[in-house]
């Protein structure tokens, strides 16, 4: 924020109106995120009272679901959710239900966090209706299909990263484990 302020002053584009608009935009965004987090807190609390995450974890273990099958299913779910929701909403709405299942199947929560971030980022640029594609379209004024076509190489890189992460889980856990001595 300080950098943006400094740039506007140096470029002589600073005005009181611009400052007020920026401040109002920051308040709106912060309020939106706060409301999402408050709603997620209520959802998490409700899920805890109902016991759905615990029951789902028990069912997944008893049904013999493999970690690989869970990851494939979650990959599809996260891509579909990315068509309709922003990244914060996806994480907040799903983590309280999914994390107990992930732990019950023996997946490392740290690894899953890295996987989740990659999948949410992938979901946000997945055509035809990835959330960030609409953001880029509104900012640039370009045709949505053109933007979707330009996003394909980035999707490929993210898919490769997810595949490498699944094939070699140590990629996500090596540095934190090395730093903590674990």
Can you give the pLDDT at residue 114? Answer: 95
Pick the more confident residue, 141 or 112. Answer: 112
Structural domains counted in the chain: 1
Q: How confident is the model at residue 54 (pLDDT cuts 50, 70, 90)?
A: confident
Can you give the pLDDT at residue 67? Answer: 92
- Upper half-sphere CA count for residue 107 (Cβ side, 13 Å): 29
Cβ atoms of 147 and 130 closer than 8 Å: no
Can you give the pLDDT at residue 49? Answer: 79
Cβ atoms of 146 and 175 closer than 8 Å: no
Residue 89 resides in a domain: yes
Residue 48 resides in a domain: no
Residue 25 resides in a domain: no
CA end-to-end distance (rounded Å), the chain: 36
Residue 49, preceding bond cis, omega within 30 degrees?
no
Pick from 165, 131, 126, 167: which is nearest to 149 by CA?
A: 126
Residue 22 resides in a domain: no
- How far is residue 83 from each of residues 47, 87, 129, 158, measured CA to CA in Å? 24, 10, 5, 16
Mean pLDDT, rounded, for 89-94: 84
Can you give the pLDDT at residue 182? Answer: 67
Q: What is the residue range of 169's domain?
A: 53-180
Residue 3 resides in a domain: no
Q: Among the listed ranges 13-27, 113-127, 155-169, which one has the minimum average pLDDT value?
A: 13-27
Record the tokens describing residue 83, joined without a space: 């068509």
Pick the more confident residue, 117 or 30. Answer: 117
Mean pLDDT, rounded, for 142-154: 89
Residue 27 resides in a domain: no
Please state, in angstroms and rounded to a whole number, the distance separating the CA atoms of residues 60 and 104.
8
Residue 98 resides in a domain: yes
Pick from 125, 122, 114, 128: which is nearest to 165 by CA?
A: 114
pTM (global) more than 0.95: no
Please state, in angstroms and rounded to a whole number, the distance separating the CA atoms of residues 96 and 43.
8
Q: How confident is the model at residue 167 (pLDDT cuts 50, 70, 90)?
A: very high
Residue 142 resides in a domain: yes
Pick the more confident residue, 128 or 57. Answer: 57
Mean pLDDT, rounded, for 19-43: 82
């Amino acid at each position: 924020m300080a950098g943006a302020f400094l740039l506007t002053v140096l470029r002589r584009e600073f005005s009181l109106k611009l400052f007020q608009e920026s401040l109002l935009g920051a308040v709106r965004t912060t309020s939106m995120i706060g409301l999402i987090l408050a709603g997620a807190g209520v959802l998490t609390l409700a899920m805890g009272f109902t016991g759905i995450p615990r029951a789902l974890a028990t069912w997944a273990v008893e049904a013999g679901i493999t970690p690989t099958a869970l990851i494939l299913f979650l990959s599809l779910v996260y891509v579909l959710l990315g068509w309709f929701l922003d990244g914060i909403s996806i994480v907040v709405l799903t983590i309280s239900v999914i994390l107990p299942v992930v732990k019950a199947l023996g997946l490392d929560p740290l690894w899953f966090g890295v996987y989740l971030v990659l999948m949410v980022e992938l979901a946000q640029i997945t055509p035809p209706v990835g959330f960030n594609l609409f953001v880029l379209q509104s900012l640039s004024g370009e045709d949505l299909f053109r933007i979707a076509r330009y996003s394909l190489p980035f999707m490929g890189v993210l898919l490769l990263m997810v595949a490498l992460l699944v094939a070699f889980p140590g990629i996500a856990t090596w540095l934190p484990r090395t730093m903590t001595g674990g």
